[in-house]
Structure 1
Amino acid sequence: MPRLGVNVDHVATVRQARGTVEPDPVTAAALAELAGAGGITVHLREDRRHIQDRDVDVLRQTVRTRLNLEMAATEEMVAIALRTRPDCVTLVPERRAELTTEGGLDVVGQRGLLENPVRRLREAGIFVSLFVDPDLAQVETAQELGADAIEIHTGTYCDAKNTQTRQSELVKIEQAVRLGQQLGLIVHAGHGLNYQNVRPVVALGGIEEFNIGHSIISRAVLVGMDQAVREMLALIEGR
């Protein structure tokens, strides 16, 4: 059964908008776990626009399922990961001006920059995933770098404006999933997935973890975290 990783970044976004202590992403993470989430994801960005270092420290102490730390492959972030020891590190691209992560890592073009962070994290016993577009060359290079997993960027599929484009992107995702499996990689997926578009990706099979944040947090604002997580779990589990 696929696992649901709930990204609580945007709970912190609301908190940071007022520079106060609420709402608390640590509390949100606990509620998500109680509702059945199989993991918690946070992205510690260079500009600290939402999740803060203290959040990561406290989550490491309180998360009872699986803590996935999304981060850029920088020396600062590697040092933080080596200190906090999350269950998984997902290396992602990062640009200061972007509203959210806009695409996968260029693993092929940045192989030389990624080799050292991947090696150091894995030597420390940390499970390493690389966030990549559904491109076969990127998947192959991720495996060559020694990553444990890939997370397939589903944003282009989610943003498709018509059925033909959506189906074309779905085929690319499926091909990336199958190649990842053949190469011995664990396959995750995420970005832009919501209650309306997740089912076709689930139906592909072979994806062990779905990391979903904005849609769940948006729904939770209206119906509460428990119901929002349970509704998404039902879709992922085919209920």
Structure 2
Amino acid sequence: MTKLSVNINKIATLRNARGGNNPDVVKVALDAERFGAQGITVHPRPDERHIRYQDVLDLKEAVTTEFNIEGYPDKRLMELIRTVRPEQVTLVPDPPHVLTSNAGWDTITHQIQLKDIIAELHTYGARVSIFINPELKYFEPAKEIGTDRVELYTEPYAALFPKSKHAAVKPFVEAAHLAKKLDLGLNAGHDLDLHNLRFLKESIPFLDEVSIGHALICDALYYGLENTIQMYRRQLEF
């Protein structure tokens, strides 16, 4: 079964735009779980432009499904993870100034850095996943540095999907099979939505988890959060 983890960053963005605590990030996370989310994902950034570090502490006390913290492993994030002890940490190579994650790790260039970070995260009891492009050269080094899973960076798939879904998914299928051969768990995320998610799952049936935020929250404006989460679940369960 492929699990759906709901990224609630956009809920925090909406709250921060007005100040106060509306919408309540913790309440939305609990509602998302009640509506069928099998995990909650957050990506705290140094400028706290959406999820704040205090949100992460508050969510840890409330979330009952898998809690997944994404981010660049700077000193502050590592300290937060040591305190919170989430079930999963997803390492993303995005510097503070970028709008959103836009590439996977170069596991060759950053092999020593990542190996040390992953080893430390394992001492906190976290499963570790690293954001990765569907380029085969990065997968064996990913295995060597000790990561438990890789998360396929799916923006290129989503961008090409409307023109040719088969061409779009081909490099991801190849990368997924290599990950499976190397005994790496497999996640996916970025720009997945109700149009392209089912085909990705059909093409890679052994996906462990997808993390979806922006598109899901946008759809919830029209369909409602409960209905939207169930719609996304149906794309993964057939």
TM-score (norm 2): 0.95
3-state DSSP class of the match of 2:104? Answer: coil
Correspondence for 1:15? 15
Correspondence for 2:185? 186
3-state DSSP class of the match of 2:131? Answer: strand
Range moving further from structure 2, 49-58 or 217-226: 217-226
Report the RMSD for the aligned CA atoms in angstroms. Answer: 1.3
Range moving further from structure 2, 38-47 or 106-115: 106-115
The 1-side partners of 2:28 and 2:123 are apart by 31
Q: Partner letter of residue 132 of structure 2?
A: V
CA contact (8 A) 1:7 1:40 kept: yes
Correspondence for 1:234? 234
Partner deviation per Cα, 1:192-237 (whole Å, 9 max, x = no partner): 0000111111002110101111111111122321111011111111
Correspondence for 2:34? 34
3-state DSSP class of the match of 2:79? Answer: helix
Correspondence for 1:86? 86
State the shift of 1:167 in Å: 2.8
Correspondence for 2:56? 56
CA contact (8 A) 2:161 2:196 kept: no
CA contact (8 A) 1:92 1:131 kept: yes
Correspondence for 1:45? 45
State the shift of 1:117 in Å: 1.1
CA contact (8 A) 2:72 2:95 kept: no
Q: Partner letter of residue 82 of structure 1?
A: R
Partner deviation per Cα, 1:77-117 (whole Å, 9 max, x = no partner): 11110111011000001133322111112222211221221
CA contact (8 A) 1:4 1:37 kept: yes
Identity of aligned residues (%): 34
What is the number of equivalent residue pairs in this alignment?
Answer: 237
CA contact (8 A) 1:150 1:185 kept: yes
TM-score (norm 1): 0.95
CA contact (8 A) 1:178 1:206 kept: no
Q: Partner letter of residue 222 of structure 1?
A: Y
The 1-side partners of 2:76 and 2:88 are apart by 17
**1:1-239 correspondence runs (5 A):** 1-160=1-160, 163-164=163-164, 166-204=165-203, 205-238=205-238
Compared with structure 1, are the counterparts of its residues 167 and 133 closer, same or farther at alpha carbon in structure 2 (3 Å cutoff)? same
Gaps of 5+ in 2: none
State the shift of 1:141 in Å: 1.4
State the shift of 1:161 in Å: 6.9
Q: Partner letter of residue 58 of structure 1?
A: D
Q: Partner letter of residue 73 of structure 2?
A: A
The 1-side partners of 2:68 and 2:179 are apart by 20
CA contact (8 A) 1:103 1:153 kept: yes
Q: Partner letter of residue 137 of structure 1?
A: K
The 1-side partners of 2:33 and 2:99 are apart by 27
State the shift of 1:162 in Å: 5.4
The 1-side partners of 2:76 and 2:46 are apart by 9
